[in-house]
Structure 1
Amino acid sequence: MAGTCGSLGSLTALHRAAAEARARDAELWVVLAWQPPLGGPGSRGSAGGTPLLTGCREAAVEQLRETLDTAFGDGPPGVTLAGLTVRGTPGAALVDTVRDPGDLLVVGTGARTPLLRALRPSVARYCLAHAPCPVLAVPPSPLQGDLDAVHRRNVWRRPLYAGDLAG
């Protein structure tokens, strides 16, 4: 099973999860967690059929479709692939979806700046601490660091030099 949010880091984790599923001759379940905005009318305590809740669920399904299409294109990843959208916070949704202690949960670690650590808890850390099965935490691709550096330079309008990129 692999968690995804559509980020480049989660796409790296999806490819690793597909490789692990092929090696184990297992199915690959791709899980995308979603929540209604601001815990409003579609929050857990309210009726399940609100238009906001339905719209959030449909948006999550579409995001999962787009993520799988981006990750694997038109060709299958060489394993049986299943997508699942789960309502809840990402870490808890992934841990709650694990069905068997023999499963392998694959998550991306992503870049964790001090600001992000303060605003959003780490999904990978949550899964490592709470999952009833082995967890494989996949670090971001080295190219992700280069992309982040280019983005920061663009935001601050600083010149980019080829020597600044990892070689």
Structure 2
Amino acid sequence: MATQQTSAAGDAHGGTDTSPERWVVGVDGSPGARAALVWALAAAARAGARLELVSTYPADFYWTDPYLLDTVRLDEIRADTAGLVRAALAEARRDPALAAVPGAAEVPTDVVVGGGAAAAQLVEQAQGAQRLVVGSRGRSGVRSTLLGSVALHCVAHAPCPVVVVHPGAVQPPPRVVVGIDDTDVSREALREAAEEARRLGAELEVVAACPLEVVWSNIYSVVAPPAEETRARARERAEIVVAEVLGADAPVRLRVEDGEPAEALPRVAAGAVLLVVGSRSRSRIAGMLLGSVALHCVVHAPCPVMVVHPQPARAAGRPAADPAAAAAR
């Protein structure tokens, strides 16, 4: 798949990449992509990251239209698309939400334009990146359950954490919400959430969902543990996980929510700046995510959602978040 990379207008660092992280952002001119770009600019300014703005153009019609087989015409298409991306970047930088974010106007950026499917291009460009940021809906505007959409494909296949941006009002104080359980990918999600909270100067709210049995027979209720006992066990286990990952004195707010995680997490995340969830799926079939906690949150959460896949190499090479640093935010 042919791509063309250029420095975007407003790149304060020219051709020298001095940022420690590379984040990929999907740009297609849609309102969702614009919201994702604004979010990425603000977050990258706080993290000192470099943005790689990726856009695509259809490639399937090359073989049916001889006029488009002319490489000059293809170069014109690439150049025009790159110009549209730069215009979208300039517009996003003027967003009032970025006015109070130091460094947002100087975030270094590159533009990458390629022919083909947007989802495949984004996943390919995300190789070696630390973040992939996409809007919840692209230009098609098809809501459904995101099945087959760019966002769903990226959530299922990207090799790095994926942030799906849903426009939503942030309520003070800023919160980063993370759902946890007793799994390795949940621990990785907790590490990512702690780092994002540190960068954003936000409160870290750790949520342990506590599904309570709802039964028809009264006989079962006699042998089932009381609801309070179930909640107490969930809190105790969550406290152990937090201590293992972040340290015993980590400044977090821990809450136990009744209900299935897929229902509890979007509810708690109302007004948050970010919801972080782990995903166990690495299936090549996007539909296999259907019904999962990650997919439900991506579709229904009222705020941006970061989906974290198991990353053994990254987790092993990175220390747990520093509780002292988090306390200083």
In the superposition, the TM-score normalised over structure 2's length comes to 0.36
Instruction: Give the unaligned 5+ runs of structure 2.
Output: 1-176, 315-329
Task: State the AA in 2 paired with 1:135.
Answer: V
How many residues are paired up? 130
The residue number in structure 2 matching 1:150 is: none
Distance 1:142 1:55 in 2: 34
Matches for 1:99-138 after TM superposition, within 5 Å: 99-100=270-271, 103-111=273-281, 121-138=291-308
Structure 2 residue 268 is matched with structure 1 residue 94: no
The residue number in structure 1 matching 2:227 is: 53
Asked if 1 retains the 8 angstrom alpha-carbon contact of 2:242 and 2:248, the reply is no
Distance 1:51 1:129 in 2: 33
More helix by share: 1
How far did 1:51 drift?
A: 5.8
Instruction: Give the unaligned 5+ runs of structure 1.
Output: 145-167
Q: Deviations over 1:71-118 (max 9, x none)?
A: 113353xxx411010000101100011231x5200001124569xx87
Which stretches of structure 1, 4 residues or more, deviate above 6 A after TM superposition?
Answer: none
Asked if 2 retains the 8 angstrom alpha-carbon contact of 1:124 and 1:137, the reply is yes
Q: Deviations over 1:36-85 (max 9, x none)?
A: 24x238xxxx9xxx961111111111111111112113353xxx411010
More strand by share: 2
Pick closer, same or farther for the CA change 1:51–1:74 going to 2, 3 Å. closer
Distance 1:57 1:74 in 2: 20
Asked if 1 retains the 8 angstrom alpha-carbon contact of 2:243 and 2:249, the reply is no
The residue number in structure 2 matching 1:69 is: 243
Task: State the AA in 1 paired with 2:241.
Answer: T
Decide which structure has the larger Cα Rg and report it.
2
Structure 2 residue 179 is matched with structure 1 residue 9: no
Distance 2:191 2:238 in 1: 15
Structure 2 residue 197 is matched with structure 1 residue 26: no
How far did 1:126 drift?
A: 0.3
Asked if 2 retains the 8 angstrom alpha-carbon contact of 1:17 and 1:28, the reply is yes
Distance 1:31 1:132 in 2: 16
In the superposition, the TM-score normalised over structure 1's length comes to 0.68
